[in-house]
Structure 1
Amino acid sequence: MSKFGELIETKLPVLLAFFADWDEACKEMHPTLRDAAAALGDKAKVVKIDVEKNQELAEALRIKGLPTLMIYKNGEMKWRQSGEQDANTLIGLVKEYI
């Protein structure tokens, strides 16, 4: 959990994508996240978190649906939604916090 604190305690917006390898919607989101990361460059971070490998964190954040996407800035959650999103929507949401 301490690494999670370090991850989100940044002035840059951080887009977190909670996923599982067995989930089809999550698999479909991988290229979208890659595109969003490329478009945002060094203005934001895009981080994928496997809920299977980070069960304690997923439970603490009450991750129920996959994928679950969150935006943090300065350690504070700014936005959260479960379900697929397109790259342009994600880029626009993150840019609101740059």
Structure 2
Amino acid sequence: MPDTTQVRSSQEAVLPDDVTDPLLWRTAYDVAAAHQPDETGRCPSLLCGGQAAPCDTLTDARRAMDLARSGEAPAEESVPAAAPRPRSRRRRKAA
């Protein structure tokens, strides 16, 4: 049986001190790493079809990384070649 174990980039990344959801942060990190723009400024993922950077998936992954953090420590570089986007301060309306 072949070994199907893959080493993901998040396994080697240093988890920021203020991460409250490590699983979400590491999963989003791997997604963001897979959607980094190529030398032409387009997303290389087949799922994005050459969309201009940042693709929607990269934007969502950065947001997920932010949501996985408590926001108490200063933001630091967490995704290769791009800083995460700041959290939205909007409040949800009550239903």
Give the TM-score range, shorter chain: under 0.3
Task: Answer with 1 or 2: which has the greater Rg.
Answer: 2
How does the TM-score come out when normalised to structure 1? 0.24
Between 1 and 2, higher relative CO (CA 8 Å, sep ≥ 6) is seen in: 1
Q: Which has the higher strand share?
A: 1
Structure with bigger helix share is: 1
Question: Normalising to structure 2: TM-score of the pair?
Answer: 0.25
